[in-house]
Structure 1
Amino acid sequence: MELENYDSFPQEIPLIIEEDIFLYPFMIAPLFLDDKENIAAVEEAINNDKLVIVTVSKPGHENSRKEGDFYDVGVIGNIMRKVSLPDGKTKVLFQGLAKGKILNYSEEKNTVAKVDLHETKEYSQESIDSIIEVLRDQVKKLSRVNSKFPVDLIKTIEENDDAVRIADLISSVLRIKKDDAYKLFSETDIEKRLLEIIETIKKEIEALKIQKEITQKVNSKIEKTHKDYFLKEQIKAIQKELGSDNQKDNEIKAYKKKLKKIKNSMPKEGYKETKKQIEKLSRMHQDSPDASLLQTYIEQVLEIPFGEYADARISVTNVEEQLNKDHYSLDKAKERIAEYFAVKELLELRNIETLKSKGTVLCFVGPPGVGKTSLANSISKALHRPLERIALGGMEDVNELRGHRRTYVGAMPGRLVKSLVDAKKMNPVVVLDEIDKLGANHRGDPTAVMLEVLDPEQNHEFRDLYLNFAIDLSQVIFVATANDLRRIPPALKDRMEFIEISSYTPNEKYHIAKDYLIPQELEKHGLKKSEISMSKPTIEKIISEYTREAGVRNLRRVFSKLFRKAVKKIVSENDTSKVSINTQNLKHYLDNPIFEIDQADKKSQVGVANGLAWTAVGGDVLKTEAVKLRGKGILSVTGNMGDVMKESSRISYSVVKLLIDERKLKVDEKVIPKTAKEKEDNISVDVSEIYKRYDIHLHIPEGATPKDGPSAGITMATTIASILTNKAVKSDIAMTGELTLTGKVLPIGGLKEKLIAAHKAKMKKVLIPRKNFQRDLDDIPSEVKKSMEIKAVDTIDDVLKETLI
């Protein structure tokens, strides 16, 4: 069927867009269509007895019929047959008649296009014959290296003299990309087209030769490797030679570019290692299991911010201002922090590079909630450096810090390197939280890693096992926190300077609540200052009766609870007036008081003494009680005491016995029980019989609370002395001190917390060891010192003179 049987061109005819193949004139080919627009175009052609034009979509725009998403030259032909298939597709038999060019196309009416014939320019047969001979020769060469080349095609082109037909036939069997196929297809200059075909065939011959060489190389390895590996190697080699693996190549280029950018900032060893792994990845097939692990490693290394530093200069003035702004009291801690950064600022000003990184690591020690971590936050703000927190509590696996070796599944860098990645700077402030709670087990001892991290002589070459090269941590400002100094290993203690942050006094808690906690919680709950009324006595009552802690964390929670109830009242009652919280209605908001430190008894008692103890939540007053029972001089102790405290009780008992034997402690003979015969004969009894004829039961209340330590020695001795001599102990005196077997009073720790507890209990006098009196009294808040008499004691004699009535 010829074109003459149809309307003349240009004309509007149905448009079919194929995804892959270019069809050529005089070809009869089946088309499988599932696109509704293509099927509609076929229906229109059949119903109206029209020709169709078949063109091809451009790469990346498959299934699109927008203008510009398909090529403007195609094949004009007719539909010979149409069959509907069971899977929903439509099969048509298409006969090509001539090339056509799309002149106009409307996306609104996307099943038709205005088309004109795309004809080859006139040419001289004599000038073309020599080119055709060369072309025939190249086709023969191609058929020799390509076993799949159609043999009958050579015979066809030898018997045919039509240059256009020859070009179409050869173009239809060449393996080329869409853009190259379109270029050959749409060329109207036959001479130029034939020359381009010759060039394309030459390239294909070269590619096939290289493929053959690659196949031979891969065949040499087939005896050692599995068949699947052989296939992957062949694909890899082909992709490398043909340049088809663009995504992988682009990734490799990006890695090399990024590595080159940070070359001068990262360690030489690290640069060599990373470069080596990138080269290894470039040679590896992307489907290989090792390729994914290798790519993860490269990406992890390149994420480390080598050369990136927070460039703000250290200013001790800024540090002091920020600390004072964020924290009330804590004067000694703030002063030491300021000194630390004053040294760093001076080193920067004088440009003493070698000493910049040398310096002590600060460790804040104190009970929970006193502001250890928030001090580090203030340091971060003042220095304009990012803050990263590493929670060490319960960490037992050393690899958590040092990283896992890449041989393990799921290996990752350690937490220290990860903190640099997260901070995006090489000099962040890193808080090593709860360093006293690091644990050792069969997986290693994390404290050993911390020795290297916190040592300024070593941390400039910290080696992470995952990275496999040293990394500089010397510019990082490490700040550690701990609750209990005794649990930190001695070697680790040597790397740090400890700043003790003690309990807050009630007055300090009041100011913290008023100036910090209440404004912050009001803002958090969407309340205005004018909507809440709370007096000073109310805040003081909340501090004394609803919280029992060294810090202010629970105090914040209490205010949060208060304001939640206030918000509910405002919202539910639609009451915009001020909510007043006072001492009278406080119970409606917070129920009954939870805590109460035992106040000093108004009446002095026999066998009851006030001791002072340090706990994890601050100081406390412990009343030590004793009773004497007829017996044989046996001492029994109760109250959930540890081994040290039990030993201290036995020492106290022995000291009191010795005082009685030496007549330093007077015992009234009337209180010594006599036998019937002694009474009848009126025999006087030696005073030492007092502790031989009575059993002593010593008890420290709150048996559910574990208690240990030697500082209750003088308290227990006073209690035992009181019960044996039947003399009362002054109820407004509290005491703390360790007792030796010879009666000397030794110094104790936690004095500030203990004296604050005595102050809360309204004691009038406190007995403390002489050495504590000489060295620790300056740390005691003035309000505590003013509220009671603090007296130093040297021996148990001094204690008993002050306490027994």
Structure 2
Amino acid sequence: MELENYDNFPQDIPLIIEDEIFLYPFMIAPLFLSNEQNIKAVESAMEENKLVIVAVSKQGHEDKREKDSFYDVGVVGNIMRKVSLPDGKIKVLFQGLAKGSIKEFNEENPLFVNVDILENKEFNEESTKSVISVLIEQIKKLSRLNAKFPADLIKTIEENDDAIRIADLISSVLKVKKDEAYALFAQTDIEQRLLDIIEVVKKEIESYKIQKEITQKVNSKIEKTHKDYFLKEQIKAINKELGTDNKKDEEIKLYSKKLKKLKKHMPKDGYKEVKKQIEKLGRMHQDSPDASLLQTYIEQVLDIPFGKYSDEEISVTNVEEQLNKDHYSLFKAKERISEFFAVKELLEKRKVENLKTRGTVLCFVGPPGVGKTSLANSISKALKRPLVRIALGGMEDVNELRGHRRTYVGAMPGRLVKGLVDAKSMNPVMVLDEIDKLGANHRGDPTAVMLEILDPEQNNEFRDLYLNFPIDLSQTIFVSTANDARRIPAPLRDRMEFIEISSYTPNEKYHIAKDYLIPQELEKHGLKKTEVSLSKATIEMIISKYTREAGVRNLRRVFSKLFRKAVKKIVEDEKVTKVTISTKNLKDYLEHPIFEIDPADKKNSIGIANGLAWTAVGGDVLKCEAIKLKGKGILSVTGNLGDVMKESSRISYSVVKVLIDTGALKIDDSIIPKTVKEKEDKTKVDASEVYKRFDIHLHIPAGATPKDGPSAGITMALTIASILSQREIQSDIAMTGELSLSGKVLPIGGLKEKLIAAFKAKMTKALIPRKNYERDLEDIPEEVKKAMEIKPVDVIDDVLKEALL
């Protein structure tokens, strides 16, 4: 196929853009095309019986078809064959005929470009032959260095007289960057082109020489390593014969000696396992990869403090003294801890061996910052035992507790075994922090492992997967902490003794701040007591207006902030010897007051009641609001409520309807629409019309906070009753209680936190279920009981009598 068979050049022909390969006029090559415009160019060429030009895209402009995104010199040729492939791709067989120069690119029609044939400049044949002979010599050198270089190429070059063909042949074989390949491809001065090729070949020769040298060095290094290895082996054999190779033997002897000391304290299975591994290590070569892993295992096991126990006897007196020293209030929690250790003390004195009593687990439950973890610290100090803290929050991998099997890379013992190693004792106080936040996923359920750890029937033979033998955890005193006991699985709850730590009252917070927090923070900031003055009124203002929380963690932060500012004043001005913080200048040290619990409204309102709620961070007062709209008696509820609370609202509405129907809740005739009065006798107006003719919209504010639970039942019923009867609700009364469909008030949980919240909000009266009144009132702080009138209620009628005006 010749160019003469086609139209004269220059002419517009389809453009194919290739990403990598520079094609040459002598080539017949397959092209695999997936770009839509390239495929259209091929189809256009075949339909119109046109030639095409194949150009190469520039670096970084692949898959683009715009000006300056490809090189302006390519190969003009024809499409011999086209085959369609899956996924919209095609394969074409392209025959190169001549080099072409792209003169013009039309962006409006990018399929076609204006092309002219690229003509080579005239050259001196004698001079060119001399250059070719030099090039052939260089090619021969390169072929000797690079075995992948085509052997037939030299023979083809030597038999060919065409300088242009020789240049094209060599250029097509060389592996160079795009820019270099284009420079060789587009060069029209053939003599210069051959000289450029010689330079590229020389660079290739130098590159291969360096590669060869590096390869030889690497090989010689490997040979040297092998040689050194065999020499070392010979030296070892000689030393063994002479009895001087004792380093490894000394290590093995040391391990065996340690194991022998631990034998009477270790379980039999453990002794056999470790002994077997030490013997195995003795037979292994020390450079073996398995030897290192085995040695790590042996050292980990021998670090476990088998037989080491804190000898200090348990003393209830010491425990009580330490708890009173470190914590204010928490009388019930301290009492239960003292009882727990009283049993242990008696069992020790009478030498009673009972796994069930040794393994009992305490669990401190309460909001953040109330002192759960610090109680465990106090127990550790009182018993003079080391403290190990294991944070369980967010743990999802079972192997974190049980250990990894030794077959895994980087295997280590579980956290419990590590805790024993760190404590250097087999009977430490182990704190399992945030046990309610354990997670479960595809890697297992850590709560299932905790069942074995905390079960006194099983933890005397707890099997760590890394150790591969059981160890005794029954002497360990486990103390766990949780914010919400309801999130702990039931089987796990069954193995623990819960000690609830509730919110602190403002008075308790004042004493904690005065006796504990302020002295501790003064010491941390390097201040003396005489350098900072904080009055009682100031501390109380900080507690009431800046830190509304269940615990005292934020209160500590506030004092830390105050003392930092005081330190800065003293450091900056030498004349300042004392910083006085009062209620008047407190704003200069702290930002605006924070009110998490709004105080009781001074005005009585229709359709607004105060409910009491329990949260993981303490109690709270929730306003329950309602409005009535003309409608058909539909109840709608908003405020990000859960299913239980929504059900409770429907029960409350039904109970109020029954009260209206039975006449227990009096409805003013003026509330009923006039249209009803006109049709019926005024003396016999049906009270049910008030809920048939109005829709009720019930709302619990703070819509961003999820809320659920049945304890708002009486609050919602009171709100609905108020809005339907147009009677005001007493603004300084708060309430909590679940409502049954028959109108009975059922008991609820979290009473202490709820009443403390009502106390903080300055409520004067609180309504609670009678069962809670009889059962839980003794747990309520005295200052709360003195400040508020706490009344028991049995049925919804009692609530309406107390709250509706």
Q: State the TM-score, normalized to the length of structure 2.
A: 0.70
2:447 paired residue number: 447
- Residue 249 of structure 1, CA deviation: 1.9
2:545 paired residue number: 545
- Residue 597 of structure 1, CA deviation: 2.2
2:625 paired residue number: 625
Q: Secondary structure at the match of 2:627?
A: strand
8 Å Cα contact 2:606/2:729 also seen in 1: yes
- Residue 347 of structure 1, CA deviation: 1.4
8 Å Cα contact 2:677/2:685 also seen in 1: no
8 Å Cα contact 1:395/1:438 also seen in 2: yes
1:639 paired residue number: 639
**Any unmatched runs of 5+ in structure 2?**
1-225
2:569 paired residue number: 569
2:591 paired residue number: 591
- Residue 628 of structure 1, CA deviation: 0.6
Distance 1:686 1:325 in 2: 68
Q: Do structure 1's residue 390 and structure 2's residue 386 form an aligned pair?
A: no
2:663 paired residue number: 663
Alignment map for 1:354-503 (pairs within 5 Å): 354=354, 358-503=358-503
After superposition, give the CA deviation of every residue in 1:467-496 in whole Å (9 maximum; x if it has no partner).
Answer: 011101111100011111111111111111
Matched AA of 1:278: I
Distance 1:676 1:337 in 2: 67
Distance 2:385 2:675 in 1: 81
Matched AA of 1:252: I
1:602 paired residue number: 602
1:119 paired residue number: none
After superposition, give the CA deviation of every residue in 1:575-624 in whole Å (9 maximum; x if it has no partner).
Answer: 44221111111111002102252222222111011111111221111111
Q: Secondary structure at the match of 2:317?
A: helix
Alignment map for 1:68-217 (pairs within 5 Å): none
1:689 paired residue number: 689
Q: Do structure 1's residue 289 and structure 2's residue 293 form an aligned pair?
A: no
Q: Do structure 1's residue 316 and structure 2's residue 316 form an aligned pair?
A: yes
After superposition, give the CA deviation of every residue in 1:334-380 in whole Å (9 maximum; x if it has no partner).
Answer: 11111111111111112223458635211100011110100000000
2:273 paired residue number: 273
RMSD: 2.1
**Any unmatched runs of 5+ in structure 1?**
1-225
Distance 1:330 1:231 in 2: 73
Distance 2:445 2:783 in 1: 45
8 Å Cα contact 1:358/1:457 also seen in 2: no
- Residue 762 of structure 1, CA deviation: 1.4
Q: Do structure 1's residue 724 and structure 2's residue 717 form an aligned pair?
A: no
- Residue 700 of structure 1, CA deviation: 1.2
Q: Secondary structure at the match of 1:776?
A: helix
1:698 paired residue number: 698
8 Å Cα contact 2:504/2:550 also seen in 1: yes
2:760 paired residue number: 760
2:784 paired residue number: 784
Matched AA of 1:273: E
Q: Secondary structure at the match of 2:647?
A: helix
Q: Secondary structure at the match of 1:555?
A: helix
8 Å Cα contact 2:436/2:488 also seen in 1: yes
Q: How many aligned residue pairs are there?
A: 580
Distance 2:557 2:466 in 1: 42
After superposition, give the CA deviation of every residue in 1:182-212 in whole Å (9 maximum; x if it has no partner).
Answer: xxxxxxxxxxxxxxxxxxxxxxxxxxxxxxx
- Residue 643 of structure 1, CA deviation: 1.5
1:111 paired residue number: none
8 Å Cα contact 1:631/1:693 also seen in 2: yes
- Residue 246 of structure 1, CA deviation: 3.1
8 Å Cα contact 1:631/1:694 also seen in 2: yes
Greater mean deviation of Cα atoms: 280-289 or 670-679? 670-679
Q: Secondary structure at the match of 1:698?
A: strand
Structure 2 CA distance for partners of 1:426 and 1:670, relative to 1, 3 Å: same
Structure 2 CA distance for partners of 1:270 and 1:236, relative to 1, 3 Å: farther
Q: Secondary structure at the match of 2:540?
A: helix
After superposition, give the CA deviation of every residue in 1:637-677 in whole Å (9 maximum; x if it has no partner).
Answer: 11111111111111111111111111111111110113389
Q: Secondary structure at the match of 2:368?
A: coil
Distance 1:622 1:303 in 2: 55
Structure 2 CA distance for partners of 1:661 and 1:230, relative to 1, 3 Å: farther
1:797 paired residue number: 797
8 Å Cα contact 2:239/2:245 also seen in 1: yes
1:749 paired residue number: 749
8 Å Cα contact 2:744/2:794 also seen in 1: yes
Matched AA of 1:308: K
8 Å Cα contact 1:256/1:275 also seen in 2: yes
Distance 2:698 2:715 in 1: 11
Distance 1:329 1:236 in 2: 71
- Residue 247 of structure 1, CA deviation: 2.4
Distance 2:451 2:726 in 1: 56
8 Å Cα contact 1:770/1:794 also seen in 2: yes
Matched AA of 1:772: N
Structure 2 CA distance for partners of 1:474 and 1:599, relative to 1, 3 Å: same
Q: Secondary structure at the match of 2:548?
A: coil
Structure 2 CA distance for partners of 1:227 and 1:494, relative to 1, 3 Å: farther
- Residue 457 of structure 1, CA deviation: 1.4
Distance 1:673 1:641 in 2: 32
Q: State the TM-score, normalized to the length of structure 1.
A: 0.70
Q: Secondary structure at the match of 2:741?
A: coil
Q: Secondary structure at the match of 1:338?
A: helix
Structure 2 CA distance for partners of 1:247 and 1:609, relative to 1, 3 Å: same
Structure 2 CA distance for partners of 1:769 and 1:294, relative to 1, 3 Å: same
Distance 2:236 2:247 in 1: 13
Q: Secondary structure at the match of 1:623?
A: strand
Structure 2 CA distance for partners of 1:755 and 1:602, relative to 1, 3 Å: same
8 Å Cα contact 1:357/1:474 also seen in 2: no
- Residue 746 of structure 1, CA deviation: 0.6
- Residue 679 of structure 1, CA deviation: 6.7
Structure 2 CA distance for partners of 1:770 and 1:301, relative to 1, 3 Å: same
8 Å Cα contact 1:599/1:762 also seen in 2: yes
Distance 1:692 1:250 in 2: 95
- Residue 231 of structure 1, CA deviation: 9.6
Distance 2:609 2:694 in 1: 20
2:330 paired residue number: 330
Distance 1:477 1:438 in 2: 20
8 Å Cα contact 1:344/1:356 also seen in 2: no
After superposition, give the CA deviation of every residue in 1:390-439 in whole Å (9 maximum; x if it has no partner).
Answer: 00111111111011110011100000000000001111000011111111
8 Å Cα contact 1:678/1:684 also seen in 2: no
Matched AA of 1:701: P
8 Å Cα contact 1:532/1:580 also seen in 2: yes
Distance 2:325 2:706 in 1: 38
After superposition, give the CA deviation of every residue in 1:770-789 in whole Å (9 maximum; x if it has no partner).
Answer: 10000000000001001111
Distance 1:384 1:736 in 2: 44
Distance 2:231 2:631 in 1: 95
- Residue 797 of structure 1, CA deviation: 0.8
2:111 paired residue number: none
Structure 2 CA distance for partners of 1:233 and 1:354, relative to 1, 3 Å: farther
After superposition, give the CA deviation of every residue in 1:289-312 in whole Å (9 maximum; x if it has no partner).
Answer: 100110000000010011111111
1:616 paired residue number: 616
Q: Secondary structure at the match of 1:636?
A: strand
Distance 1:356 1:623 in 2: 47
- Residue 236 of structure 1, CA deviation: 6.5
Distance 1:256 1:479 in 2: 36
Greater mean deviation of Cα atoms: 245-254 or 790-799? 245-254
- Using the aligned pairs only, state the percent identity: 82
